[in-house]
């Protein structure tokens, strides 16, 4: 620890500015006050301002910023991470909802030049680590280019580092796309099901029932008990004590397990109405049963889970058309919670994600851009409309932001996740 006579300066009980740091952080303000102000800036602004001076680069580096925020008892920073399209071609982008105009691009994922069109991958954040797992892609060397290939690749990016760079992790044991995925206790990731298929020819695809989990400490993938049957297109989350079971469980909902044909010609998926849960300590699956009756709905809609401060899932919600439904673990059924403030056409898909205890519904749109010239014709800019619902207050709010993308976002292929720093 630096003595009072030492030229080093300690800020907010955590950060020490070493000799050679030029002047104060912000001229005219005590360094402790300036440090708090810089900690409260949005994540994109902090990334941009690191080059301002040596003192700012030291303060805004991950090694000091995150511990400093914790020592000041500042709330966690929640970010939305959006993958607009193929992450090997286009950069994923971060949004800090505290400043809806502050988008920050991340580097694209390094990918083999022989592969393209990555889709149906899983994007998930565990702490400050952002994972991209699996997916389906095409091989540019193959002919005909009609059958996507499942991928076993795994990438990770540490958002706490000053320089963002994707790290290639060991491949999963089983290639898979469109699968259930969740953050597991202890900082790992658990995945189940999935496969790969052509969007128009599902009979040509593959499905799997395999389950595995990634141990971040040993950097290895480990096989777990497979699901009772094959399933793809499903969603997953980890819940504690749901259904009267006193252990953490990895829940898998929805998806499709087989197909039929219409008129004996057109392939048609058969969607699952049931759920199943894997005990993370017992290693056994239990089948939950059907969550709705025939005719109530065709398939499970987008699902978002809300977690408490300790990371345990407390509520699970589904977006079904213009309505939001809440899942009841006790009755294994869905009840209507709310209706969107602004309806979305049936032909459009939207994003659905939970963030800081609220549900966010994202819809791509084109809105007139502002112009200073009264006679100049208004041009339309690509925008994202957020409809945000607070389940506790049962209130809605709506805001619009302009992401740095050149084409409308198609949520049939785009991916969403949330990051907590």
Using a pLDDT cut of 70, give the percent of the chain over it.
83
Strands ordered across the beta sheet of 129-133: 122-126, 129-133, 154-158, 166-169
pLDDT of residue 274: 95
Torsion of CA 114, 116, 120, 123, to 10 degrees: 90
pLDDT of residue 14: 47
φ, ψ (nearest 5 deg) of residue 391: -65, -30
How far apart, in Å, are the Cα atoms of 316 and each of 83, 189, 400, 419?
23, 19, 25, 18
Name the residue with higher pLDDT: 320 or 13.
320
Model pLDDT for residues 49-73, shown as the tens digit of each residue? 877 888 888 888 766 777 787 787 7
Instruction: Name the pTM for this structure.
Output: 0.84
Q: Are strands 256-262 and 248-253 parallel, antiparallel or unpaired?
A: unpaired
Confidence at 136, pLDDT banded by 50, 70, 90: confident
Using a pLDDT cut of 90, give the percent of the chain over it.
43
Name the residue with higher pLDDT: 313 or 383.
383
Is pLDDT above 50 for 371? Answer: no
Average pLDDT score over the chain = 83
Model pLDDT for residues 234-279, shown as the tens digit of each residue? 999 998 877 666 788 999 999 998 777 666 555 677 899 999 999 9
pLDDT of residue 148: 78
Closest CA to 219 of 167, 162, 176, 161: 167
Name the residue with higher pLDDT: 225 or 308.
225
Residue bearing tokens 């056994």? 284
pLDDT of residue 6: 42
Confidence at 20, pLDDT banded by 50, 70, 90: very low
Task: Tell me the mean pLDDT in the region 354-383.
Answer: 75
User: Residue 38: helix, strand or coil by DSSP?
Assistant: helix
Confidence at 389, pLDDT banded by 50, 70, 90: very high
pLDDT of residue 310: 62
| Residue ranges per structural domain of the chain | 9-71, 109-300
pLDDT of residue 143: 47
Neighbours of 309 (CB within 10 A): 8
Token pair, residue 249, equals 């469980």
For domain 109-300, the CATH superfamily is Kelch-type beta propeller (2.120.10.80)
Token pair, residue 247, equals 């252990």
Is pLDDT above 90 for 104? Answer: no
- Listed in sequence order, the DSSP H helices in 40-141 are 43-49, 54-59, 62-71
Model pLDDT for residues 172-222, shown as the tens digit of each residue? 999 999 999 999 888 899 999 998 765 555 556 678 999 999 999 999 999
Token pair, residue 290, equals 């059907």
Is pLDDT above 70 for 21? Answer: no
Task: Tell me the mean pLDDT in the region 344-353.
Answer: 88
Rounded Cα distance between 59 and 14, Å, is 10
Is pLDDT above 50 for 5? Answer: no
Q: Are strands 220-224 and 211-215 parallel, antiparallel or unpaired?
A: antiparallel
Model pLDDT for residues 279-304, shown as the tens digit of each residue? 999 999 999 999 999 889 989 999 99
Give the largest CA-CA distance in the chain: 87
pLDDT of residue 261: 65
């Amino acid at each position: 620890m630096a003595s009072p006579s030492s030229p080093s300066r300690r800020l907010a009980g955590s950060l020490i500015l070493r000799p050679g740091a030029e002047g104060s952080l912000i001229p005219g303000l005590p360094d402790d006050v300036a440090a708090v102000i810089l900690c409260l800036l949005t994540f994109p602004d902090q990334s941009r301002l690191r080059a301002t001076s040596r003192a700012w680069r030291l303060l805004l580096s991950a090694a000091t910023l995150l511990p400093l925020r914790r020592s000041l008892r500042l709330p966690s920073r929640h970010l939305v991470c959006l993958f607009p399209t193929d992450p090997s071609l286009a950069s994923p982008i971060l949004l800090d909802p505290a400043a809806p105009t502050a988008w920050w691009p991340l580097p694209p994922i390094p990918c083999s030049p022989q592969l393209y069109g990555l889709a149906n991958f899983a994007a998930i954040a565990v702490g400050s680590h952002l994972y991209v797992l699996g997916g389906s892609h095409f091989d540019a060397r193959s002919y005909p280019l009609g059958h996507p290939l499942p991928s076993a690749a795994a990438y990770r990016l540490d958002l706490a580092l000053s320089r963002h760079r994707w790290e290639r992790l060991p491949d999963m044991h089983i290639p898979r796309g469109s699968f259930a995925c969740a953050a597991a206790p202890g900082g790992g990731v658990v995945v189940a099901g999935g496969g790969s298929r052509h969007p128009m020819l599902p009979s040509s695809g593959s499905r799997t029932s395999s389950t595995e989990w990634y141990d971040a400490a040993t950097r290895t993938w480990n096989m777990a008990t497979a699901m009772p049957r094959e399933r793809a297109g499903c969603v997953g989350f980890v819940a504690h004590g749901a259904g009267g079971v006193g252990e953490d469980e990895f829940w898998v909902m929805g998806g499709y397990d087989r197909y039929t044909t219409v008129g004996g010609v057109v392939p048609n998926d058969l969607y699952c109405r049931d759920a199943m849960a894997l005990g993370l300590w017992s290693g056994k699956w239990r089948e939950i049963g059907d969550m709705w009756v025939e005719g109530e709905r065709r398939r499970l809609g987008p699902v978002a889970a809300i977690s408490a401060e300790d990371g345990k899932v407390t509520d699970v919600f589904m977006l079904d058309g213009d309505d939001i439904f809440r899942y009841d673990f006790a009755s294994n059924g869905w009840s209507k919670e709310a209706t969107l403030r602004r309806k979305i056409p049936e032909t459009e898909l939207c994003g659905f994600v939970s963030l800081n205890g609220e549900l966010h519904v994202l819809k791509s749109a084109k809105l007139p851009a502002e112009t200073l010239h009264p006679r100049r014709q208004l041009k339309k800019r690509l925008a994202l409309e957020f409809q945000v619902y607070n389940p506790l207050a049962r209130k809605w709010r709506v805001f619009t932001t302009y992401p740095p993308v050149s084409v409308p976002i198609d949520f049939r292929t785009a991916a969403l996740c949330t990051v907590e720093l």
